[in-house]
């Protein structure tokens, strides 16, 4: 198993890690220490100091609110989407590309879906406008709750880290 | 003894222990189910007590399998096999469980295993008999094959008079006599138009193909030369591997070989669990994928009117990774099979998943049935991936297989991302199409069929640390090769007028999806020629990830009565190179103004006549993107514009860059102005969007009034018909009244086959093999 430095993990998160090390990461057994180092990197980049518990998207984190100790889903800008067990999309802003004009803003005619078949649902942070997700479902499709992690089992039995306090 | 032995009463004793093959397999399964370990192997005694011999066996057999594949494929003349490597050889133990496989299209680990298990379950040893030197041929989709063009040759391996295993070899043949030429044809609505299907038929004895088989099979396909050389490829590979096993048995003994043939599977089972624990996060992951079935169109000529309707294939995936690193893949809610050739057998669906996961979760040479035994599958009976009717057509099962799995792919990527293994994240895959198919009489005067395998090099999905690769790979084919122009031109009467990166085809994102490519082909010196299109057009079959966009959809361009013969003769301009932006209709400037052009999203068509000098655009799709496009660094966008990977106007709109073009035609991104513009775009997003819960009220109103296209309603109606759970969850999410229903009968489209089924299990003297929870 290979061991990597905090600096290398920082570069990985930036998308600037050298290819030789990246190839080693791909081909060698995984380093269990990565998760802790990854959290360090992410924490150092964020403008807030609530504890990151699990990253769930490029700009979305399950984090422990420093004051309340509640676990929430939180944007990198600081916007909170509520309890981490709830589907954050229901608390986001949505823009639905459900007509040809809206579709052709992002792809040329003939290279975008026909909105009688498929729409694009773009979910934005209400505070900073970051696009956290683009869904591509049929009309009528329920908003999918995509990820419900078992954080307790993950921390305790998989990465062997102390579980942060949780008030909710 | 006053009772006759099995031999005396004519019962074969292939295992030398008085047990039938079925009894042996049942015992293996019983021990597995009872203990949770394959064949009850709680300890890997051979591996642990003599690891050197164990590893020697592994290396020798695995090396032999790969060697056999590389050698045998040189026999083939078909570019699909010889250029693209669409073949694979796999070794099984006596119970039909895979021990090891070669490189190649490893989906057939399961499909050939299913054929062996079918022979075991149905007492093939009694009739037609299983003897040393026999060969069996199978391509029956109702017992596990992906599509009929994957022909498997299966050879039993005996040692000192006892059956010790099987070897199977598969090639993707270029044609098998379906309704229309090409290996993955459209137009047939049922199995009876899918082409030649052979059910584990004994096609050789004493290592020699039977003459009736050779005569019959060749006259049932269009491309006899390729057919017979493909058969020789498979036979040669199987016999090389059988000889290798004999040498291994001679050197290491039957006891060690048998222990290895079981322990390696248990090792594979444990290996998958260990990788799940090492790379993922326990929890529940939900994703979904779709693809279009646009059959209600004038260019879909069907013999059966009841197949002529638009619908959507639906693959909702719930992946549960438990704290003990066991896992379940549940596709409850999937839509029903249909009267098209996109249906898939349960084994094709489950076995194909390993093709995908060997590229991330289990990147090992030890691919075998261990991964299957480590996975719980739920594929409800009656769905498109587990039909309950033996009439279903499967010729282009890949139309949705490749993207029906994409929910797993995106779920796994979510997991790798959460864990920090960013190097493994992949936003998804291209719908690997278009498939250029057709046939007729070639420039050589031969009856011929084509299936261009250029889609083996589509764009790949973006990673969390880099862009996807342009025109690079297909998830189902590890070779990732578009093939040489010169080889395709020799095989097909279609000249290349261009082969270029497909601009704007990769999904946008912080890291963009890889672009696909496009080739413009002109029919040249054909003598009767037909072609058709196969791919997605009205829909994307994969999504982006974490703010990245899906890739572009497909579209169709074909042109007839082009007058190119005269334009070539007169030295006039010609349609060459890329169709950079389909809105510009660039090719039309270089063909006759009265040419008959089809430029639309009908990317699935049936056989149409193409005359010499007609044009066909073969556009291979791009991969989806990762992350918000506004996070993409300016230098990368600038490079994309100048490399023609993205159109300038879409770089401005989607990436928010402020650009200018110099006198040297080179585009430059103004970094400072871009930063300002991106802030504005973020504010514009907030201004145009509404709270999700408000939008849900609007959408609920549309559902209450049944406001949606018939294809959307048809998809939901068939999913509701198969899963009360899916319907209840749908109604609960939208808070619909209890009496809200969506019966298929109210849609006004043909519902032939929706009520009365003809399951294979109802046939006399047939024992089906079920390998999933239904």
Residue of A nearest to B310 (CA): A117
Cross-chain residue pair A111–B711, CB shorter than 8 Å: no
CA B676 to chain A, closest CA, distance in angstroms equals: 14
Distance CA B352, CA B108 (A): 8
Cross-chain residue pair A137–B288, CB shorter than 8 Å: yes
pLDDT at B525: 95
pLDDT at B9: 66
pLDDT at A1: 63
For residue B5, pLDDT over 70 is answered with no
The whole-model pTM stands at 0.96
- Mean pLDDT across chain B: 95
Give the residue-averaged pLDDT of B148-166: 97
Distance CA B106, CA B371 (A): 13
Give residue-wise pLDDT tens across range B101-145.
998 888 888 999 999 999 999 999 999 999 999 999 999 999 999
Assign 3-state DSSP to chain A and report helix, strand, coil percentages, each to 5: 25, 25, 50
pLDDT bin (cut points 50, 70, 90) of residue B8 is low
Q: How many CB atoms are located within 10 Å of the residue B141 CB?
A: 27
Give residue-wise pLDDT tens across range A89-130.
999 999 999 999 999 999 999 999 999 999 999 999 999 999
Quote the tokens at residue B158: 């005996």
Report which secondary-structure segment, H or E, holds B87: strand B87-93
Residue of A nearest to B622 (CA): A111
Partner-chain residue, chosen from B599, B653, B708, that has the shortest CB–CB distance to A106:
B653
CA A45 to chain B, closest CA, distance in angstroms equals: 15
Q: Strand, helix or coil at B117?
A: helix
- Phi, psi of B539, rounded to the nearest 5 degrees: -135, 155
CA A23 to chain B, closest CA, distance in angstroms equals: 9
Give residue-wise pLDDT tens across range B508-561.
999 999 999 999 999 999 999 999 999 999 999 999 999 999 999 999 999 999
Residues of A in contact with B704 (CB under 8 A): none
CA A119 to chain B, closest CA, distance in angstroms equals: 9
pLDDT bin (cut points 50, 70, 90) of residue B377 is very high
Between helix A6-14 and helix A19-27 the angle, nearest 10°, is: 100
Cross-chain residue pair A142–B730, CB shorter than 8 Å: yes
Residue of B nearest to A158 (CA): B277
Spatial CA neighbour of B630 closest among B607, B614, B612, B653: B653
The list of chain A residues with pLDDT below 70 reads 1
Cross-chain residue pair A129–B685, CB shorter than 8 Å: yes
Give residue-wise pLDDT tens across range B265-294.
999 999 999 999 999 999 999 999 999 999
Mutation to test the B interface, candidates A19, A34, A123, A138, most B Cβ within 10 Å: A138
pLDDT at B427: 95
For residue B731, pLDDT over 80 is answered with yes
Distance CA B163, CA B144 (A): 23
CA B196 to chain A, closest CA, distance in angstroms equals: 34
Give residue-wise pLDDT tens across range B488-516.
998 899 999 999 999 999 999 999 999 99
pLDDT, greater one: B444 or B150: B150
Give the residue-averaged pLDDT of B571-585: 97
Residues of B in contact with A120 (CB under 8 A): 549-550
Partner-chain residue, chosen from A128, A140, A153, that has the shortest CB–CB distance to B708:
A140
Distance CA B196, CA B564 (A): 38
Contact B385, B331 (CB under 8 A): yes
- Contact A63/B at CB under 8 A: no
Distance CA B329, CA A10 (A): 34
Quote the tokens at residue B228: 């017979």
Partner-chain residue, chosen from B282, B286, B702, that has the shortest CB–CB distance to A144:
B286
Distance CA B594, CA B258 (A): 70
Q: How many CB atoms are located within 10 Å of the residue A129 CB?
A: 22
pLDDT at B6: 64
Cross-chain residue pair A149–B549, CB shorter than 8 Å: no
Q: Percent of chain B at pLDDT above 90?
A: 87
């Amino acid at each position: 198993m290979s061991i990597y430095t905090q600096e290398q993990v920082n570069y990985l998160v930036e998308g600037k890690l050298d290819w030789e090390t990246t190839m080693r990461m791909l081909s060698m057994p995984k380093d269990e220490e990565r998760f802790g180092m990854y959290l360090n990197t992410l924490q150092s980049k964020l403008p807030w100091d609530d504890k990151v518990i699990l990253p769930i998207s490029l700009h979305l984190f399950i984090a422990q609110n420093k004051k309340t100790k509640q676990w929430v889903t939180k944007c990198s800008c600081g916007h909170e989407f509520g309890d981490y067990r709830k589907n954050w999309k229901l608390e986001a802003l949505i823009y639905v590309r459900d007509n040809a004009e809206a579709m052709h803003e992002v792809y040329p005619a003939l290279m975008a879906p026909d909105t009688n078949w498929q729409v694009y649902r773009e979910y934005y942070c209400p505070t900073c406008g970051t696009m956290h997700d683009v869904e591509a479902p049929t009309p009528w499709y329920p908003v999918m709750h995509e990820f419900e992690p078992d954080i307790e089992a993950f921390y305790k039995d998989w990465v062997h880290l102390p579980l942060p306090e949780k008030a909710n | 003894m006053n009772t006759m032995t099995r031999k005396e009463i004519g019962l074969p004793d292939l295992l030398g222990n008085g047990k039938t093959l079925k009894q042996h397999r049942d015992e293996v399964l019983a021990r597995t189910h009872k203990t949770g370990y394959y064949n009850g192997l709680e300890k890997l005694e051979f591996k642990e007590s003599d690891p050197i011999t164990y590893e020697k066996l592994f290396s020798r057999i695995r090396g032999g399998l790969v060697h056999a594949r590389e050698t045998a494929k040189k026999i083939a003349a078909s570019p699909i096999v010889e250029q693209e490597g669409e073949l694979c050889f796999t070794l099984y133990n006596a119970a039909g469980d895979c021990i090891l496989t070669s490189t190649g299209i490893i989906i057939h680990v399961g499909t050939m295993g299913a054929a062996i298990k079918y022979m075991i379950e149905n007492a093939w040893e009694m009739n037609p008999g299983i003897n040393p030197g026999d060969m069996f041929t199978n391509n029956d989709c109702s017992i596990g094959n992906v599509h009929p063009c994957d022909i498997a040759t299966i050879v039993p391996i005996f040692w000192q008079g006892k059956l010790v295993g099987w070897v199977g070899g598969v090639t993707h043949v270029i044609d098998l006599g379906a309704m229309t030429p090409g290996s993955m044809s459209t137009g047939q609505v049922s199995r009876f138009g899918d082409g030649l299907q052979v059910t584990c038929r004994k096609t050789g004895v004493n290592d020699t193909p039977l003459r009736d088989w050779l005569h019959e099979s060749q006259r049932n396909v269009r491309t006899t030369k390729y057919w017979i050389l493909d058969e020789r490829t498979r036979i040669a590979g199987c016999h090389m591997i059988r000889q290798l096993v004999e040498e291994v048995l001679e050197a290491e003994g039957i006891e060690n070989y048998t222990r290895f043939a079981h322990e390696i599977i248990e090792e594979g089972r444990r290996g998958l669990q260990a990788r799940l624990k090492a790379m993922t996060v326990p929890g529940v992951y939900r994703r979904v994928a779709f693809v279009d079935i646009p059959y209600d169109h004038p260019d879909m000529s069907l013999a059966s009117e009841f197949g002529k309707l638009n619908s959507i294939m639906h693959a909702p995936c719930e992946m549960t990774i438990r704290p003990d690193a066991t896992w379940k893949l549940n596709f409850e809610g999937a839509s029903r099979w249909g009267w098209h050739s996109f249906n898939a057998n349960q084994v094709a669906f489950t076995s194909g998943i390993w093709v995908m996961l060997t590229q991330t979760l289990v990147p090992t040479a030890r691919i075998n049935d261990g991964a299957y035994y480590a996975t719980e599958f739920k594929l409800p009976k009656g769905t498109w991936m587990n039909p309950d009717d033996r009439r279903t057509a499967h010729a282009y099962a890949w139309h949705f297989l490749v993207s029906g799995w994409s929910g797993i792919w995106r779920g796994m990527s979510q997991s790798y991302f959460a864990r920090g293994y960013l190097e493994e994240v992949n936003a998804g895959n291209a719908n690997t199409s278009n498939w250029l198919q057709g046939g007729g009489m070639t420039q050589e005067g031969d009856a011929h069929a084509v299936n261009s395998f250029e889609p083996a090099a589509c764009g790949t999905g973006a990673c969390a640390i880099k862009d996807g690769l342009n025109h690079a790979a297909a998830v189902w084919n590890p070779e990732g090769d578009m093939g040489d122009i010169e080889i395709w031109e020799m095989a097909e009467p279609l000249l290349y007028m261009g082969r270029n990166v497909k601009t704007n085809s990769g999904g946008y994102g912080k890291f963009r999806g890889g672009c696909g490519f496009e080739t413009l082909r002109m029919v040249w010196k054909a003598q009767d020629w037909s072609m058709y299109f196969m791919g997605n057009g009205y829909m994307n079959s994969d999504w982006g990830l974490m703010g990245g966009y899906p890739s572009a959809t497909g579209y169709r361009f074909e042109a007839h009565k082009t007058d190119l013969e005269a334009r070539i003769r007169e030295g006039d301009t010609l349609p060459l190179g890329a169709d950079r932006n389909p809105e510009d209709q660039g090719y039309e400037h270089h063909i006759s103004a009265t040419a008959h052009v089809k430029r639309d999203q009908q990317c699935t068509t049936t056989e149409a006549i193409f005359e010499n000098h007609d044009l066909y655009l073969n556009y291979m799709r791009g991969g989806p993107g990762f992350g918000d496009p506004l996070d993409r660094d300016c230098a990368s966008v600038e490079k994309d514009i100048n490399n023609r990977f993205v159109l300038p106007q879409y770089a401005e709109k989607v990436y928010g860059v402020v650009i200018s073009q110099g006198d040297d035609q080179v585009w430059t991104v103004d970094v400072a102005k871009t930063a300002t513009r991106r802030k504005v775009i973020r504010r514009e997003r907030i201004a145009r969007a509404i709270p999700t819960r408000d939008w849900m009220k609007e959408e609920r109103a549309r559902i209450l009034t049944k406001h949606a296209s018939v294809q959307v309603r048809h998809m939901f109606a068939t999913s509701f018909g198969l899963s009360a759970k899916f319907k209840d969850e749908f109604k609960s999410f939208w808070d619909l009244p209890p009496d809200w229903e969506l019966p298929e009968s109210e849609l006004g489209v043909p519902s032939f086959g929706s009520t009365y089924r003809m399951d294979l299990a109802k046939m006399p003297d047939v024992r089906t093999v079920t390998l999933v929870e239904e």
